[in-house]
Structure 1
Amino acid sequence: MSAVGAAGIAGLTASVRAQEAKSLTNAERILESLEGHQIGGGVGHRADISLEDADVTVESTGAFFDALDSSADVIGVPGTAQIDLSGRDFTLSGQMIVSDRGIDGSPGALLYTTDHGADSPAWDGGSSGRGLITMRGGSRISGVRLRGPYHDYYDDPAYPGYIPLDDADSYQKREEMRQERYARGIRIVNDDVEVDNCELYGWPIQAISIGSASIAVSPHIHHIYGHDCMMVGAGYVIDVLNGHPTIEMSYFNATRHSIIGFGHPTCGYTLKDSVFGPITYSHAVDMHSLAENGYGDDLTAGGRVEVRRCTFAFTHTITDNPTQAIAFRGYPDDKYITENNRFLHDVDSDFENPVNTSGQSVPYRQVNVGSGWHDWQSSDNQYGLGEPHEPGVGAPVNLNDR
């Protein structure tokens, strides 16, 4: 497959400055371009596991939980099934949940919850709690749709994917409104875990949470479509609390941050061959410093983060504010690497780090470091709408190919 064509990405520029309806149109255009390819999973992607591999096939909530309690290793759920998980949560250990997303146009089985807030199973235990699904060693979820409680904001023409809280009359009231809406989809607590070919959306805090302060894990997440997870102070598809997942061949859109890290020295990720945008509320790829998370003045911001061959199809937020694609908020314990990426941002390759000045349309910035770039290796990236470099720059798809 070719690198992103100049004509294709040029066609998306209206989405970052025009009216919101045009943004929606361009989001649909990207989806059409990805269809038939493998990025984001679905049509055009073939997972190495299918419904034919299932030990048991279920189509109702009761049968689904019976299968979880059985000796079945692979639980199949047809794409026509809708499994209501409201009021419940469960742990997946040594089992796989499989559906048929993308096969003969199937959207994949729908697993969903309406739960949210401190007293719900989807936010049990708060920020270090379980969430709807806890994934332990030997578990896998493939080919399903996992829908959170706020999915109905995805088509808001003014703020697609965003849960508005602007009507609150005080900061405290807004915080209460925000926390009442919290929900987490998946919490991963072991290395031997895989999430693939899934669509995840409607999660106001985390679709996927990885590790904890004392648990560093390195799962594999690939060929997913994560979208419409956006709220003030929250809204992530993948939140890396600790560990180093590999994230690849995925599409992210309409989020506050698509991928975020907590900042532990053992916290990082390898991100490859993925597409972001055209809709965002802030920068898409992030790593906080420990100081921002209650660790005094420690400006350690993760260990090693690699971003390779990705395409960022935005330069502004949905509120028309300039934004970056990537922001790392301190010093890495090892190194930051950004290589062979395609940014819509029109800058010279030797642009200066804007540090704490966020309102600039540059591809990336390093925060809280004074000036310059620190332990950041950047090479062979492309900026703006010029002719593409040789194949291998940006994600492996032509966004003008529909």
Structure 2
Amino acid sequence: MPQYFTNDRVLECLEGRPIGGGVGHRANIGLADADVTVESTGAFFDALDSSADVIGVPGHVQIDLSGRDLTLSGQTIVSNRGIDGSPGALLYTTDHGEDSPAWDGGSNGRGLITMEGGSRISGVRLRGPYHDYYDDPAYPGYIPLDAGDNYQEREAMRQERYARGMRILDDDVEVDNCEIYGWPMQAISVGTSSTAVSPHIHHIYGHDCMMVGAGYVIDVLNGHPTIEMSYFNATRHAIVGFGFSTCGYTLEDSVFGPTTYSHAVDMHTLAENGYGDDLTAGGRVEVRRCTFAFTHSIQDNPTQAIAFRGYPDEEYVTENCRFVHEIDGEEPPENVSNDGGLAPYRQVNVPRGEWHDWTFRNNQYGLGEPHEPGVGAPVNLDDPMAGKPLIGEERRHGLLAALRTLE
């Protein structure tokens, strides 16, 4: 399949830069701000039950949450991802399926971590149960739909693999500087059918959340999160919305890597989710200064970067983005609608060739053109060293730490 950039190439370009967090990004909170520092699962849960506002987990620590879930309210969990080359503390579960804490309550359940008002997770790795799935030849990490005698049987098999990392239930929630991976359903779920919330999600690296019929890093059920300065790769949809008129998101300064099962940025219609023939597909969705580094899926199908599946209650805005896809003539190209095909974006369930309440401004298309300042995410995938300091203080510490591990 055509793949102009590899994941390794993108990571090389992002090294030492803030996008995706880690080395190159300095969070405004760290281990030095912790009221208590823990190094075991027991101590971790004791701290959650205490009056500590900020719980620190050093980067070398692994916290096994298997068999358990937790609610974070008014507290912060912090580690040191990116500091002196640290990967950040690892919080993980092996749980999956309808009877597990990671999928408690099904599609409206809590997940591994429920985040309520005043909570924050910063600088950690959050690993789901399918981080090491290597059975499919199309892509190690892709979870195909199991064979079965009928749809119900296949669906039951698939749901046995479901797991959710976080469920966010309040505006005053922040997730930042985290690596989040291995979640076959949702890494992060935002809001409920009756609660619209607008949290802040930034500087994350979300990857290997790729299951047929599921596989989302951020699933917006209701509300309008701000998502920025992040890197997404190996997903079915990196960001998806349910379709309520109160459902949308602002997405800025982020990169979508070369490996995908389907389009990266999505908004469903209500009709697809059991609301009759209602073709409302969200309220307002803004996508600005993002870079999309793919044209085809892992199955070599032409794949759009963005697909909104109906009519917005307010407006879609796509501006100053960079697409690997070529177009003929001025933007926007003809809407391929339900037909699909090799196009940077499409609006589904509207007449072919038409765009409805979708504004396009100053986007860049194709390869071979110079990277235009202010267009796409603030990184040049054509030149890994463009604008990158030869060696900054943060990178120097990271390199020294790496060298010490070899001694």
Look up the equivalent residue of 2:151 and give its one-letter code: Y
Look up the equivalent residue of 2:345 and give its one-letter code: Y
Find the aligned partners of 1:250 and 1:319 in 2 and give their Cα distance. Answer: 25
1:3-402 equivalences under 5 Å are: 14-15=2-3, 26-153=6-133, 158-348=138-328, 349-358=331-340, 360-371=341-352, 372-388=354-370, 390-399=372-381, 400-401=383-384
The verdict on how the C-alpha distance between 1:102 and 1:154 changes in structure 2, with shifts beyond 3 A counting, is farther
Find the aligned partners of 1:156 and 1:105 in 2 and give their Cα distance. Answer: 32
Find the aligned partners of 2:359 and 2:147 in 1 and give their Cα distance. Answer: 43
Tell whether the 8 Å contact from 1:161 to 1:227 is kept in structure 2 after alignment.
Answer: no
- CA deviation digits over 1:18-75, x for unaligned, max 9? xxxxx7xx11111121010000001110000000000000010000000000000000
The verdict on how the C-alpha distance between 1:154 and 1:48 changes in structure 2, with shifts beyond 3 A counting, is farther
Look up the equivalent residue of 2:347 and give its one-letter code: Q
* Equivalent residue, structure 2, for 1:4: none
Q: Secondary structure at the match of 1:217?
A: coil
- CA deviation digits over 1:330-353, x for unaligned, max 9? 000000000000000011324100
Cα RMSD after superposing both structures: 1.4
Find the aligned partners of 1:165 and 1:304 in 2 and give their Cα distance. Answer: 32
Find the aligned partners of 2:334 and 2:181 in 1 and give their Cα distance. Answer: 35
The verdict on how the C-alpha distance between 1:43 and 1:243 changes in structure 2, with shifts beyond 3 A counting, is same
Q: Secondary structure at the match of 2:327?
A: coil
Tell whether the 8 Å contact from 1:154 to 1:228 is kept in structure 2 after alignment.
Answer: no
Find the aligned partners of 1:365 and 1:109 in 2 and give their Cα distance. Answer: 40
- CA deviation digits over 1:319-374, x for unaligned, max 9? 1000100000000000000000000001132410001012x111100001123000
Which consecutive segments of 4 or more residues in structure 1 shift more than 4 A?
Answer: 154-157
Q: Secondary structure at the match of 1:152?
A: coil
Find the aligned partners of 1:242 and 1:163 in 2 and give their Cα distance. Answer: 26
Q: Secondary structure at the match of 1:15?
A: coil
Q: TM-score, normalised by structure 2?
A: 0.91
Find the aligned partners of 2:144 and 2:277 in 1 and give their Cα distance. Answer: 32
Tell whether the 8 Å contact from 1:160 to 1:254 is kept in structure 2 after alignment.
Answer: no
Q: CA deviation at 1:160?
A: 3.1
Q: Secondary structure at the match of 2:3?
A: helix
Q: Secondary structure at the match of 2:107?
A: helix
The verdict on how the C-alpha distance between 1:260 and 1:40 changes in structure 2, with shifts beyond 3 A counting, is same
Tell whether the 8 Å contact from 1:210 to 1:241 is kept in structure 2 after alignment.
Answer: yes
Find the aligned partners of 2:145 and 2:195 in 1 and give their Cα distance. Answer: 33
Find the aligned partners of 1:318 and 1:160 in 2 and give their Cα distance. Answer: 10
Tell whether the 8 Å contact from 2:7 to 2:259 is kept in structure 1 after alignment.
Answer: yes
Find the aligned partners of 2:25 and 2:332 in 1 and give their Cα distance. Answer: 38
Q: Secondary structure at the match of 1:39?
A: coil
Find the aligned partners of 1:62 and 1:364 in 2 and give their Cα distance. Answer: 48
Find the aligned partners of 1:253 and 1:316 in 2 and give their Cα distance. Answer: 13
Q: Secondary structure at the match of 1:295?
A: coil
Q: CA deviation at 1:164?
A: 2.7
Find the aligned partners of 2:172 and 2:147 in 1 and give their Cα distance. Answer: 43
The verdict on how the C-alpha distance between 1:253 and 1:389 changes in structure 2, with shifts beyond 3 A counting, is closer
Find the aligned partners of 1:15 and 1:152 in 2 and give their Cα distance. Answer: 23
Q: CA deviation at 1:195?
A: 0.1
* Equivalent residue, structure 1, for 2:395: none
Structure 2's unaligned 5+ residue stretches are 386-407
Q: CA deviation at 1:14?
A: 4.6
- CA deviation digits over 1:211-237, x for unaligned, max 9? 011000000000000000011100000
Find the aligned partners of 1:224 and 1:258 in 2 and give their Cα distance. Answer: 12
Find the aligned partners of 2:110 and 2:58 in 1 and give their Cα distance. Answer: 26
Q: Secondary structure at the match of 1:29?
A: helix
Find the aligned partners of 2:371 and 2:257 in 1 and give their Cα distance. Answer: 21
Tell whether the 8 Å contact from 1:289 to 1:301 is kept in structure 2 after alignment.
Answer: yes
Q: Secondary structure at the match of 1:111?
A: strand
Q: CA deviation at 1:156?
A: 6.3
Find the aligned partners of 2:2 and 2:57 in 1 and give their Cα distance. Answer: 40
Find the aligned partners of 1:105 and 1:389 in 2 and give their Cα distance. Answer: 29
* Equivalent residue, structure 2, for 1:3: none
Look up the equivalent residue of 2:223 and give its one-letter code: G
